[in-house]
Amino acid sequence: MSKPVVLLGHGDHALVLRALIRAQGRDLVGVLTPDLPAGSLWQGVPVLGGDEWLDHPQARAHDFALGLGRMPGQPPLRQQVFAKLRARGLATPPWIHPAAWVDPSARLADGVQIMAGAVVQVAAVLAENVLINTGAQVDHHGQIGAHVHVAPGAVLCGSVQLGEGVFVGAGAVLIQGITVGAGAEIAAGATIYRSVPPGVRWIPGRAPIGLSQHETGV
Ligand SMILES: CC(C)(COP(=O)(O)OP(=O)(O)OC[C@H]1O[C@@H](n2cnc3c(N)ncnc32)[C@H](O)[C@@H]1OP(=O)(O)O)[C@@H](O)C(=O)NCCC(=O)NCCS
């Protein structure tokens, strides 16, 4: 029998994950957030407390789902909270919406999230805490580094490699074999036909903008 689920966060991404957990028929028993009072309800789900609850003796009896998204320019909170789960050895299984397609040969590490309508093709490898958002596509042999966010509707053609912490904006298209360096951010709607160096914000028709380690989290 599967464990009851605890969700971290109470924003928009948490709402989408709550829907995923429901669609899986799993039992969502609590939410962790420092921003709402313990004992209150969020979307009908009890708020258990903040991150300190991760040290609760009952924590190990649960599966955890990380309900924090990550947008360009935001601090890498998603990485930091995931690290707290890892440090405590708490269970963060992959979360796959029933309306996504993940080929059985794909390899998904802990905490990977595949949202509704997304496709992960043959021999793709997704490292921990990767988020493949609604309707995005990772084609065959894609190699996706830890903590990457592929935003809704983006298309990664075959054998694309993304370094740790990369953000791919909504609807961007990366042609086959492209490499994107760690921490880079690709603008929504961009067409990427050459590899992108690490740690830059890439907007079509503009010189790449350097990002600090504080911004990229890697
Ligand atoms: C790339 C991005 C991070 C740039 O944000 P920013 O640094 O705040 O940039 P600004 O909005 O100040 O825009 C700077 C310039 O780049 C242009 N620009 C911004 N985003 C662009 C895009 N996606 N494509 C083409 N040009 C873009 C702006 O028009 C502006 O041009 P101007 O100086 O001539 O007026 C942002 O526009 C973006 O694409 N974010 C991703 C959104 C997304 O995918 N959301 C999904 C969430 S799940």
Using the predicted structure, report yes or no on whether residue 70 has a pLDDT greater than 90: no
Residue 9, class by beta-carbon neighbours within 10 Å (0-12 exposed, 13-18 middle, 19+ buried)? Answer: buried
- CB of 6 closer than 6 A to ligand 1? no
Q: Which residues of 17-30 are buried (b: 16+ CB within 10 A; e: fewer)?
A: bbebbeeeebebbb
pLDDT of residue 215: 79
CA 202 / ligand 1 centre spacing (Å)? 9
C-beta neighbour count of 130 within 10 angstroms: 26
Distance from C-alpha of 19 to C-alpha of 57, rounded to nearest angstrom: 27
What number is the average pLDDT over the span 46-74?
95
Nearest CA to ligand 1 atom 47: 151
Q: Tokens representing 189?
A: 């709607």
CB 78, CB 68: distance < 8 Å: yes
Nearest CA to ligand 1 atom 37: 187
Percentage of residues in the chain having pLDDT higher than 90: 92
Domains of the chain, first to last: 5-68 (3.40.50.20), 95-216 (2.160.10.10)
CA 18 / ligand 1 centre spacing (Å)? 29
Q: Tokens representing 89?
A: 């050895």
SS3 content of the chain, % helix, strand, coil (to 5): 15, 30, 55
* Atom nearest to 204 CA in ligand 1: 25
Q: Tens of pLDDT along 11-46?
A: 999 999 999 999 999 999 999 999 999 999 999 999
> Binning pLDDT at 50, 70 and 90, where does residue 126 land?
very high
What number is the average pLDDT over the span 36-57?
97
More confident residue, 75 or 139: 139
Distance from C-alpha of 185 to C-alpha of 22, rounded to nearest angstrom: 31
Using the predicted structure, report yes or no on whether residue 66 has a pLDDT greater than 90: yes
Three-state DSSP class for residue 131: strand
- In which residue are the tokens 């709607």 written? 189
Please give the distance of CA 196 from its chain centroid, rounded to a whole number: 21
**74: which DSSP letter?**
S
pLDDT of residue 104: 98
* Atom nearest to 172 CA in ligand 1: 44
* Atom nearest to 186 CA in ligand 1: 1
The per-residue pLDDT of the chain, averaged, comes to 96
CA 81 / ligand 1 centre spacing (Å)? 27
CB 67, CB 53: distance < 8 Å: no
* Atom nearest to 190 CA in ligand 1: 24
Using the predicted structure, report yes or no on whether residue 57 has a pLDDT greater than 90: yes
- In which residue are the tokens 């997704």 written? 126
C-beta neighbour count of 159 within 10 angstroms: 16
